């Protein structure tokens, strides 16, 4: 089964118009591998601006969205608003949403389901904390997080699953290619058993956690790693090298 390689950049709470111009400049210079789907997670206030300046082969994504179309939810953004802006992607369940802002599995699953119902493509993030890995709970944690989503959705065709070990995000620590591949392979096996063989074969499972130009090629060689969700490195020209990791 051939799964199209997918690379996402998550700018997080970074960027000004001037800084975004700099990112757009190196993305336009590229060149970017035409066989790779490229998405960048943009702060909400810059989504419309970024959509207007990004090259056509790079799609903007929202970094979050709520579980209903509209209402008295101060500070939130709805999938309907993103669709109205012409945005096709949203990142949900990022470890910072889970662990800094306290979003539980159940809320993330509701957000994923509603975003899909609204027509968005979803990057659904899962991953374990350091203490959970050290306690041998990696699989239990990522299965539980994925099960919450599986309980709410039927169609996985617009989902990219991002495995992001929390202990490797912004720490400089990276899961070895073997460690990452092991979790991805176990997730694919779980999907086959709990969801369907079709979803297991077709769902893109990408890796996030201190991916850099230095380690991306080795990670990209692994059979079950279908791309990356990149944080800090997506703000720098090396993001082009990460996009081209399969070349």
Q: What is the dihedral of CA 40, 192, 142, 213, to 10 degrees?
A: -40
Strand partners, 7: 38, 228
Cβ 92 vs Cβ 124: under 8 Å: yes
Q: At what angle do helices 105-118 and 138-150 cross, to 10 degrees?
A: 40
Q: Which of 94, 110, 128, 238 is catalytic?
A: 94
- φ/ψ of 139, rounded to 5, equals -65, -45
184 assigned to active site: no
164 assigned to active site: yes
> What is the C-alpha separation between 82 and 89, in angstroms, rounded?
8
| The pair of three-digit structure tokens given for residue 206, joined into one six-digit string | 């990408």
Peptide bond into 31 cis (omega under 30): yes
Q: Which of 96, 110, 164, 238 is catalytic?
A: 164
| The pair of three-digit structure tokens given for residue 218, joined into one six-digit string | 């080795």
Rounded to 5 degrees, what angle do the CA atoms 87, 247, 241 make?
60
Q: Which amino acids are annotated catalytic?
A: 94, 164
């Amino acid at each position: 089964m051939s799964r199209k390689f997918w690379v996402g950049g998550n700018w997080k709470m970074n960027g000004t118009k001037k800084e975004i111009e700099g990112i757009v400049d190196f993305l336009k210079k590229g060149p970017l591998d035409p066989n790779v789907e490229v998405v960048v997670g943009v702060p909400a206030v810059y989504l419309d601006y970024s959509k207007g300046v990004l090259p056509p082969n790079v799609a903007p994504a929202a970094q979050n969205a709520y579980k209903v179309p509209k209402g008295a939810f101060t500070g939130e953004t709805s999938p309907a608003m993103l669709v109205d802006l012409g945005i096709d992607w949203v990142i949900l369940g990022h470890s910072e949403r889970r662990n800094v802002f306290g979003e539980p599995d159940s809320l993330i699953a509701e957000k994923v389901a509603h975003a899909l119902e609204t027509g968005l493509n979803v990057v659904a993030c899962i991953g374990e904390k350091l203490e959970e890995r050290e306690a041998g709970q990696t699989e239990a944690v990522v299965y539980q997080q994925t099960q919450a989503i599986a309980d709410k959705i039927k169609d996985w065709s617009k989902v990219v699953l991002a495995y992001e070990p929390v202990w490797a995000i912004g720490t400089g620590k990276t899961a070895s290619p073997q460690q990452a591949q092991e979790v991805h392979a176990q997730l694919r096996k779980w999907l086959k058993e709990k969801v369907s063989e079709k979803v297991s074969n077709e769902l893109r499972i990408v890796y996030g956690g201190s991916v850099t130009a230095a380690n991306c090629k080795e990670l990209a060689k692994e059979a079950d790693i279908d791309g990356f969700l990149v944080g800090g490195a997506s703000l720098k020209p090396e993001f082009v090298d990460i996009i081209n990791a399969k070349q």
